Structure 1
Amino acid sequence: MEENKEKLEVGKIFTVLGENDQEQEMKVVGFLKLEEMNYAAVIFVEDTQEETMEDISIFFLRVEDDNALSMIESEEEFEKVSAAYNKLDDKKPTKKRGKNRNKK
């Protein structure tokens, strides 16, 4: 998904290619370590301009050893990460996997 040569940190903005080959900017808003795996919580930058914090969806990406970001493939892994993130702060925006982002 995203190969990152720099240190990944909160506030970093990077570009991903969406379903329709459209570039979209994402921003890192937090990190979580669970069962020896690191995860980044990210949001779409355009959402911060259009919606309130309560309406912004947080997506989780796996942070690989080389700082590359990859999608969470299994529903079980996603549920574990989402539940752990929810425990950190119950006031965080809604968590979504992000597969159907372009569908309304």
Structure 2
Amino acid sequence: MSSQRLLRLGARTAEVEALYVRVLEAPDRRSEERRLAELAEAAARLAATARAAAGPRRAPHRRTANPRPAGRSRLERRMIRVRRTTDWIIERAAGDPR
């Protein structure tokens, strides 16, 4: 990110912080509401500046933990799972009965 963008973000952030302090120090309800409106506008400008500095949004790359083998139907996957389970049961039954 360029130093110019960081400078703009810093200036907008300082503006929001200063307006927040002004809201806290407001002497009456009417001036507090006016200052809150100013704070909201400054916060919106900060958000717009940050959005522009961030650039275009890209969708996050999603990976599955265990991707399916390509080209196998649901029936084929079930048959493979049944075969593996059957082999496991046969191995367990034929093994040492300790």
TM-score range, shorter chain: under 0.3
TM-score, normalised by the number of residues in structure 2? 0.21
Structure with greater strand share of residues: 1
Structure-1-length-normalised TM-score: 0.20
The structure with the larger Rg is 2
